[in-house]
Amino acid sequence: MTAKARTHASVAPGEIAIGVVIGRLSEMFDFFVFGIASVLVFPSVFFPFVDAKTGTFYSFAIFSLAFIARPFGSALFRLIHSRYGRGSKLTIALFVLGTSTAGIAFLPGYAVLGEWAIVVLALMRMAQGVGIAGSWDGLPSLLALNAPRNRRGWYAMLPQLGGPIGFFIAAGLFAFLVSSLTPADFLDWGWRYPFCVAFAINVVALFARLRLVVTPEFTALLQTRELEPSPTGELLRTQRAGIVLGAFAPLASFALFHVVTVFPLSWVTLLTQEKVSVVECLTVQMFGALLCIVGMLLSGQIADRIGRRATLALGAGLIALFSLVGLLPMFLHGSLIGALLFVLGGFVLLGFSHAQAAGAINSTFPSRYRYSGAIITSDLAWLVGAAFAPLVALFIASRFGVGYVGLYLLSGAVGTLMALGINRNLEMRED
């Protein structure tokens, strides 16, 4: 048996999957904690000088800063990777992510620091984006490449499980705190605990991922699979079409991502006329997160039968149908039943479509460009598809009516279908 064969045999896809899921869970938990706090906490704590709706708009604007900062973080940590190696890069990135998240937990509000509290909050949020960008370790691409050939759709789905799991934990923690504390205690100190928990989860994730990426077996496998940074100029010159199409291909699922998680809370607290508590909304969303996992598992099975590209297109088509035929009529008048159906149905479609989003991005590029191409494309996809989704959805709902949020989701689905249709030869590479 050759050295290369021994290296491949010594690294099971299941080992990679565990590290990837843990890493994605920690990242998503951080982001959902901030997203939920953007609705329940920040308008009162950091923007008490405006009404609740305007304060939520400001909070969602700060929420978007992490996605804007991601490309800059990717460029910075590319240099760190080249000079100090993958393990050092991952350690520094998760330190930045963890300390910025924990720093928010100890940040005084507007009543103490005035406008500086808002400035520091914005800087912390940007640091979160930089840390997320730097935490890219190549394991999702490695998992897709090292998976059995007839199970690559299934293994491409596994990393995405961290999203609904992270949201379930974050929503459950906030639901417990809101139901257990008085409103004054929650806004004074209770909301800070989830950010401290996020720091602890990041520490666990750091050691779980370092255990993989710094071992000789994984280092050799990453090099064998050419999962190392490629020259940026050459990448942009030769892979422009792949970057653009790869960024727009998962647009439908990325737009839906925060519309079913963060936006419904703002609708419940600001726009609905029917009586529904925050805890009830979070409970429904937690159930939706479980349905999201079911949708992801189903997507993994179907992708292995019809292909990841076809599955992504099917998911976009279902989102378009849901937005135009289902969501718009029943949610047009802002009814509670419509909202619940929107959340639950949206989570199912999110799971089905988002499960193959990362696999589509990773598989667009030849092996030489896969590592760097996936980073750039992912940063662009999240920026275009998710950064402003809660802000845009709240604006549409408050200005035109909540039912018209369906048209926003429809535009994302159309974007995905157009990206897949422009290049009909775009197939998920197997090399």
Q: How confident is the model at residue 187 (pLDDT cuts 50, 70, 90)?
A: very high
Most confident segment among 37-46, 211-220, 341-350, 368-377: 37-46
Neighbours of 237 (CB within 10 A): 9
Q: Which of 18-32, 269-283, 414-428 is least confident? A: 414-428
Provide the percentage of residues in the chain whose pLDDT is more than 90: 32
Phi, psi of 274 (to 5 degrees): -90, 150
Structure tokens at 284: 């429904």
* Closest listed residue to residue 101, CA positions, set 38, 47, 31: 31
State pTM to two decimals: 0.88
**What's the rounded mean pLDDT across residues 336-344?**
73
- 201-230 average pLDDT score: 70
Asked if 154 and 304 count as a contact pair (C-beta separation under 8 A), the reply is yes
The pLDDT value recorded for residue 376 is 86
Residue 239, token pair as written in the block: 């892979």
Q: Measuring CA to CA, which residue among 2, 10, 429 is closest to residue 219?
A: 10
pLDDT of 356 > 50? The answer is: yes
> Among 378, 336, 344, 343, which Cα is nearest to 360's?
378
Distance CA 164, CA 213 (A): 25
Residue in the block written with tokens 């928010």: 104
Pick the range with the lowest mean pLDDT from 13-17, 258-262, 312-316, 414-418: 13-17
Q: How confident is the model at residue 167 (pLDDT cuts 50, 70, 90)?
A: very high
280-323 pLDDT tens trace: 889 999 999 999 999 999 998 998 888 877 888 898 898 888 88
Q: Which of 100, 105, 93 is nearest to 134 (CA)?
A: 93
Taking the C-alpha atoms of residue 219 and residue 362, their distance in angstroms, rounded to an integer, is 19
DSSP assignment, residue 179? Answer: H
pLDDT of residue 183: 92
Residues in the chain: 431
Q: Is the pLDDT of residue 4 over 60?
A: no
Tokens of 359: 């696999």
Phi, psi dihedral angles at 23 (to 5 degrees): -65, -45
Average pLDDT for 371-383: 84
Per-residue pLDDT band for 240 (boundaries 50, 70, 90) equals confident
Compute the radius of gyration of the chain from its Cα atoms. 21
- Greatest extent of the chain over all pairs of C-alpha atoms, in Å: 70
> From CA 415, how far away is CA 231, in angstroms rounded?
29
SS3 state at 287: helix
CA atoms of 168 and 174, how far apart (whole Å): 10
What pLDDT is recorded for position 3?
44
* Confidence category of residue 5, pLDDT binned at 50, 70, 90: very low
Distance from C-alpha of 150 to C-alpha of 169, rounded to nearest angstrom = 32
- Asked which of 26-30, 154-158, 294-298 is least confident by mean pLDDT, the reply is 154-158
Angle between the N-to-C axes of helices 389-400 and 405-422, in degrees from 0 to 180, rounded to the nearest 10: 130
CB 210 within 8 A of CB 4: no
Q: What pLDDT is stored for residue 126 in this prediction? A: 96
Q: Give whole-number Cα distances, 166 to 130, 209, 223, 371, in Å.
A: 19, 17, 31, 25
> Which pLDDT belongs to residue 218?
64
Q: Which residue has the tokens 């035929």?
A: 325
- 161 token code pair: 């499980």
DSSP state of 322: I
Average pLDDT, the chain: 82
| Contact status, residue 357 vs residue 160, Cβ threshold 8 Å | yes
Give the range with max mean pLDDT: 78-87, 120-129, 386-395, 420-429: 120-129
What's the pLDDT score for residue 128?
A: 93
